[in-house]
A and B are shown apart, each in its own frame.
Chain A
Amino acid sequence: MTTVTMIVNGEEMTGEAEGRTLLVDFLRGQLDLTGTHVGCDTSQCGACVVHIDGASAKACTIFAQACDGASVTTIEGMANADGSLSLIQQAFQDHHALQCGFCTPGMVMSASDLLARNASPSETEIREWLEGNICRCTGYHNIVKAIQAASATMIGSSQAAE
């Protein structure tokens, strides 16, 4: 066991990890951040997507020890400071982009990274970006709508600010 320290959702957090401990298991088991989910064992489903140093990544594809010193954001760190839903989270609720909720944290983390990289993605770009996030409930229809709506709101508010 090795002691691992990382900045998680803006706070310094420390836990123990074996060499083989995956980041997702560290977050869930050591830090009790159970919003990041495990839906497969082959890095296909995307239920475990978090942001590592600002970029989305599957937390089952990296060892916890490799994240020592990194800045990690999980779904628990996505709401606004006052606890209200962030723009993307709100769009997911407004457009019924989740049902059972299990893939949802990964979807939100992936979607927010997409919009950070491309503020106005086309429908095709959204669907292709979500290749690594599997949802079994929604048929993706409303997830795409929610991301489009979040994009429109972001663009609208940035234009309004200009």
Chain B
Amino acid sequence: MPKDQGIGAASKRREDIRFLTGKGQYTDDINRPGQLYCQFLRSDVAHGVIKTLDTAPAKMMDGVVAVFTATDLEAVGGVPCGWQVTDRHGEAMKEPKHPILAEGKVRHVGDPIAAVIAESAEIARDAAEAVGLEIEELPAVVGMGAALTGGANVHDDVPGNLCFDWGFVEENKDAVDAAIASAAHVTKLELVNNRLVANPMEPRCAIGDYDASRDEHTLYTTSQNPHVIRLLMGAFVLSIPEHKLRVVAPDVGGGFGSKIYHYAEEAFVTWAAKAVGKPIKWTSSRSEAFLSDAQGRDHVTTIELALDAEHNFTALRCHTLANMGAYLSTFAPCVPTWLHGTLLAGNYKTPLIYTNVKAVFTNTVPVDAYRGAGRPEATFQLERVIDKAAREVGVDPAELRRKNFIPTDAFPYQTPVAVQYDTGDYDATMTKALEMADVAGFAARRAESEAQGKRRGLGIASYIEACGIAPSSLVGALGARAGLYEAATVRVNPTGSVSVFTGSHSHGQGHETTFAQVVADMLGIDEGQIDIVHGDTSKVPFGMGTYGSRSLAVGGSAIYKSVEKIVTKAKKIAAHLLEAAEADITFENGQFTVAGTDKALGWGDVCLAAYVPHKYPIETLEPGLEETSFYDPANFTYPAGAYVAEVEVDPDTGQVEICAFTAADDFGNVVNPMIVEGQVHGGLAQGLGQALLECIGFNEDGQPDAASYMDYAMPRAADLPNFAVDHSCVTPCTHNPLGVKGCGEAGAIGSPPALVNAVMDALAPHGVAHIDMPLTPRRVWEAIQAAG
């Protein structure tokens, strides 16, 4: 294997060639023979009863093949939820039906009501407009506080709109209350974690295809986890057994969580392809994406941090309202609970923690995991309240954090919120970040800004996240309705090239390159000899897909296990061919050698022998060289780090400029530093987008205030700085074979509090203590004015 390959090399991405030449194959690039097009008629009101639904005018139009409504789907199940939360009182969450097409009632703007199938997308669009629709509008349930007390209900069978009332750790509640009541100092903060739209650049798309001669369904779909879709849709919605249903997720143009979930549209086209007898394609417009892709965040929180006289954190109490939207998306209930409450210890040794989360139904688009999912919300409130506390008690925010960091000799560290951190060094990343950000030179830079009438601020944040999701038995106990292992088949071909079939799915992460580096490193062969196959249930073993920064930690470990088995078997074959004892065989750099001799065999010779087993230990060993592993992690992984933001605020306009942003992360071992840095850049952009630009809101009628890029502020190139990133602080994960932790979400988790802390630092002379995200010029300017 060349020296510039394998683990640790910045191998260039092989997938780039097709993406750079226009040869990527995304779902909408696929066209099936005889394909028809689907357009959904969606509700333009947030809440109402369907009084008239007349499909006849649409059906009469030239080129229209069929128009379907809920009455056609009586044999079809609703969209299932994959996680059941049990509330404080031991009761299961409320789980109202989520129909494929609205059944008499609409519950959010964008709720699909009817579906038109036509010969072209244009005809389908025209025909959807011709459907006769009358909706009697009901009062919309929008604000979460009002939802719990207002009287109107999103679902008739969920009076009061409360999905669940969750407490964690419930047994700690009284002790936390007592510690806060008797604390030397308590810092309290009320804050909003703004609702975001994931906005992968590729809109969702689904093509249903049915082969009647074989009774086989195929769904091409923009998914992060095709096997999960096959299981959920096959078992719970359409009653199609796995062997009759193939789900293909080809090149997928970004996901960020929003393409994890099973959506009504993909179930519909799969069903309709059989009903109509032709392949059916649906491609979301961007405006539809704003109304139908699961959105992210949307928490309203009150957090209180108690400190003793020496500034040790003694207790933390949080109360959160979490918006579920109109229906439970696939993993929505786990986001504000198990992905959020378990992270409230952060990097700190706070001994007592209690959080209460009320999940609320509203007449808004469903909310689910978005890059970070629960962990950004936990980190934001924690790092904001710590910063506020530092200011209140008059200590340096970095020093207050350091004083309360879990020390390096305390690992493995059992937090009071269930999870056990395996390893970490939070001081190291803090030191690194502060050094890279030239904190020493900040005072001079601030003076320069002040001289120009500007305010300059420096903000820091530490973060930890639990990723590498997840130990199946643990998540099962917490309500997951699935295991969260990953699967990999490694097939060595007769001439020694290798095909890897993984349940992980790449939608931008570069798995085809990174996974090949791992295999190349283990086998000592050229990366070019290794092919990574993913995204097709007919090819890859049953696996759970990509989210929660799990691909390398879990999927990569499954590949590692399979390669280990391959090497073990290959050594047996080599021992036979070399007429040596198996124990004397060493495998290194693609060569099998016999200890103490000059006898050697190449990788290719052993592979060929496995498939042409003429001289072979056939009595004790099967021919062939192919192994499958299912890797179920022993624990989550815990990447952590420290981020520093430096901003300049124009007090006359409220404009915030990001002058510099520094990220020092501990991701454990790194396979491809170039790809890791790219992941951090992207996460930072999304986190800074949340902090400064992005938000989707709903007015009192439940109408969204954004449904396109004209009114939703996606970060543009000129909005962002260059990033200074570092991953040289390494504490390898102790429980997976690669020692890796995952890097996909960190940037989005750590950057919002760092940025907001920096702006609050800049505005401290004005007496501004908090502004809710996004920190738009208007909000900043108003806060300055209000503070007087």
Chain A residues in the interface with B (C-beta under 8 A): 18, 20, 28, 33-42, 44-45, 47, 74-76, 78-79, 85, 89, 92-94, 96, 98-105, 108, 123-124, 126-128, 130-131, 133-144
Most B CB within 10 A of own CB, among A38, A94, A127, A140: A140
Known: A76-B23, A99-B254, A131-B718. 19 other contacts (CB 8 A): A18-B122, A20-B122, A39-B202, A39-B203, A41-B708, A42-B708, A76-B21, A78-B22, A93-B13, A96-B12, A96-B678, A101-B251, A103-B253, A133-B717, A136-B682, A137-B254, A138-B681, A139-B682, A144-B717
Q: Are B684 and A39 in contact (CB under 8 A)?
A: no
Most B CB within 10 A of own CB, among A92, A98, A101, A105: A101
B22 → A minimal CB distance (Å): 2
Q: Give the interface SS of chain A, mostly helix, strand, loop or mixed.
A: loop
Q: Are B200 and A42 in contact (CB under 8 A)?
A: no
Given known contacts A127-B717, A141-B722, A42 and B254 CB-to-CB distance under 8 angstroms: no
**Which of the residues A41, A136, A143 comes within 8 Å of B200, measured between beta carbons?**
A136
B residues in contact with A76, CB < 8 Å: 21-23
- Please, how many angstroms separate the alpha-carbon atoms of A138 and B722 in the complex? 11
**Which of the residues B254, B685, B709, B715 comes within 8 Å of A100, measured between beta carbons?**
B254
B178 part of interface (Cβ distance < 8 Å): no
Q: Are B723 and A101 in contact (CB under 8 A)?
A: no
- Please, how many angstroms separate the alpha-carbon atoms of A88 and B709 in the complex? 27
Mask: chain B, 15-27; 1 = CB below 8 Å from A; 0 = not: 1111111111110
B286 part of interface (Cβ distance < 8 Å): yes
- 25 CB contacts below 8 A, A to B, read A20-B122, A34-B22, A37-B201, A37-B253, A38-B28, A41-B287, A44-B709, A74-B22, A76-B21, A89-B21, A92-B16, A96-B12, A96-B13, A100-B253, A101-B16, A102-B202, A102-B253, A102-B254, A105-B22, A126-B717, A127-B716, A136-B682, A138-B685, A139-B747, A142-B678
Q: Are B286 and A40 in contact (CB under 8 A)?
A: yes
**Which of the residues A75, A78, A130 comes within 8 Å of B717, measured between beta carbons?**
A130
B residues in contact with A102, CB < 8 Å: 24, 26, 200-202, 253-254
Mask: chain B, 700-741; 1 = CB below 8 Å from A; 0 = not: 000000001110001111101011000000000000000000
- Please, how many angstroms separate the alpha-carbon atoms of A142 and B725 in the complex? 12
B residues in contact with A123, CB < 8 Å: 722
A139 → B minimal CB distance (Å): 3
Most A CB within 10 A of own CB, among B252, B254, B677: B254
Q: Are B201 and A136 in contact (CB under 8 A)?
A: yes
**Which of the residues A28, A39, A41 comes within 8 Å of B201, measured between beta carbons?**
A39
**Which of the residues A18, A94, A136, A143 comes within 8 Å of B199, measured between beta carbons?**
A136
- Please, how many angstroms separate the alpha-carbon atoms of A149 and B677 in the complex? 18
Q: Are A108 and B716 in contact (CB under 8 A)?
A: no
B777 part of interface (Cβ distance < 8 Å): no
Given known contacts A39-B202, A85-B17, A103-B201, A138 and B28 CB-to-CB distance under 8 angstroms: no
Q: Are A35 and B22 in contact (CB under 8 A)?
A: yes
B residues in contact with A143, CB < 8 Å: 717
- Please, how many angstroms separate the alpha-carbon atoms of A34 and B24 in the complex? 8
Q: Which residue of A has the minimal Cβ distance to B722?
A: A141
A57 → B minimal CB distance (Å): 17
B residues in contact with A104, CB < 8 Å: 19-20
B674 part of interface (Cβ distance < 8 Å): yes
- Please, how many angstroms separate the alpha-carbon atoms of A138 and B685 in the complex? 8
User: Which of these binds chain A: B507-515, B554-562, B641-649?
Assistant: B507-515
B residues in contact with A47, CB < 8 Å: 201
- Please, how many angstroms separate the alpha-carbon atoms of A148 and B711 in the complex? 31
Q: Are A139 and B685 in contact (CB under 8 A)?
A: yes
Q: Which residue of A has the minimal Cβ distance to B678?
A: A96
- Please, how many angstroms separate the alpha-carbon atoms of A131 and B720 in the complex? 12
Q: Are A93 and B20 in contact (CB under 8 A)?
A: yes
- Please, how many angstroms separate the alpha-carbon atoms of A103 and B683 in the complex? 17
A149 → B minimal CB distance (Å): 13
B256 → A minimal CB distance (Å): 7
A residues in contact with B21, CB < 8 Å: 35, 75-76, 78-79, 85, 89
B29 part of interface (Cβ distance < 8 Å): yes
- Please, how many angstroms separate the alpha-carbon atoms of A131 and B15 in the complex? 26
- Please, how many angstroms separate the alpha-carbon atoms of A85 and B252 in the complex? 22
B675 part of interface (Cβ distance < 8 Å): yes
B residues in contact with A74, CB < 8 Å: 22
Q: Are A45 and B12 in contact (CB under 8 A)?
A: no
A12 → B minimal CB distance (Å): 19
Given known contacts A37-B202, A96-B674, A136 and B28 CB-to-CB distance under 8 angstroms: no
B residues in contact with A103, CB < 8 Å: 201, 253
Q: Which residue of B has the minimal Cβ distance to A147?
A: B717
A34 → B minimal CB distance (Å): 4
Q: Are B717 and A140 in contact (CB under 8 A)?
A: yes
The 10 closest A-B pairs by CB, nearest first: A35-B22, A101-B19, A102-B253, A139-B685, A100-B508, A44-B709, A99-B508, A75-B22, A139-B681, A34-B29
B194 part of interface (Cβ distance < 8 Å): no
B residues in contact with A100, CB < 8 Å: 19, 200-202, 251-254, 507-508
Q: Which residue of B has the minimal Cβ distance to A133?
A: B717
Given known contacts A20-B122, A100-B252, A39 and B286 CB-to-CB distance under 8 angstroms: yes
- Please, how many angstroms separate the alpha-carbon atoms of A130 and B251 in the complex? 24
B residues in contact with A127, CB < 8 Å: 716-718
Q: Which residue of B has the minimal Cβ distance to A88?
A: B20
Most A CB within 10 A of own CB, among B19, B29, B675: B19
A residues in contact with B686, CB < 8 Å: 136
Given known contacts A101-B251, A102-B253, A103-B201, A36 and B685 CB-to-CB distance under 8 angstroms: no
B285 part of interface (Cβ distance < 8 Å): yes
- Please, how many angstroms separate the alpha-carbon atoms of A106 and B26 in the complex? 15
Interface residues in B636-689 by Cβ distance below 8 A to A read: 674-675, 677-678, 681-686
A residues in contact with B19, CB < 8 Å: 98, 100-101, 104
- Please, how many angstroms separate the alpha-carbon atoms of A79 and B22 in the complex? 10
- Please, how many angstroms separate the alpha-carbon atoms of A103 and B29 in the complex? 14
A residues in contact with B747, CB < 8 Å: 139
- Please, how many angstroms separate the alpha-carbon atoms of A104 and B26 in the complex? 13
A residues in contact with B715, CB < 8 Å: 139
A21 → B minimal CB distance (Å): 8
- Please, how many angstroms separate the alpha-carbon atoms of A22 and B715 in the complex? 27
B276 → A minimal CB distance (Å): 21
Q: Are A135 and B201 in contact (CB under 8 A)?
A: yes
- Please, how many angstroms separate the alpha-carbon atoms of A35 and B23 in the complex? 6
Q: Are B709 and A45 in contact (CB under 8 A)?
A: yes
- Please, how many angstroms separate the alpha-carbon atoms of A15 and B723 in the complex? 46
**Which of the residues B20, B22, B509 comes within 8 Å of A99, measured between beta carbons?**
B509
Q: Are B122 and A137 in contact (CB under 8 A)?
A: no
Q: Are B709 and A42 in contact (CB under 8 A)?
A: yes
Q: Are B510 and A93 in contact (CB under 8 A)?
A: no
Q: Are B201 and A94 in contact (CB under 8 A)?
A: no
Given known contacts A41-B285, A45-B709, A100-B507, A136 and B714 CB-to-CB distance under 8 angstroms: yes
A residues in contact with B675, CB < 8 Å: 96
Interface residues in B30-45 by Cβ distance below 8 A to A read: none
Most B CB within 10 A of own CB, among A139, A142, A144: A139
Q: Which residue of B has the minimal Cβ distance to A100?
A: B508
Given known contacts A34-B29, A37-B26, A98 and B20 CB-to-CB distance under 8 angstroms: yes
Q: Which residue of A has the minimal Cβ distance to B26?
A: A102
- Please, how many angstroms separate the alpha-carbon atoms of A136 and B507 in the complex? 12
**Which of the residues B199, B508, B708, B722 comes within 8 Å of A101, measured between beta carbons?**
B508
B120 → A minimal CB distance (Å): 9
- Please, how many angstroms separate the alpha-carbon atoms of A41 and B16 in the complex? 26
A residues in contact with B25, CB < 8 Å: 34
A residues in contact with B20, CB < 8 Å: 75, 85, 89, 92-93, 98, 101, 104, 108
B586 → A minimal CB distance (Å): 36
B residues in contact with A138, CB < 8 Å: 678, 681-682, 685
- Please, how many angstroms separate the alpha-carbon atoms of A105 and B684 in the complex? 23
Interface residues in B282-302 by Cβ distance below 8 A to A read: 283, 285-287
- Please, how many angstroms separate the alpha-carbon atoms of A36 and B28 in the complex? 11
A83 → B minimal CB distance (Å): 8
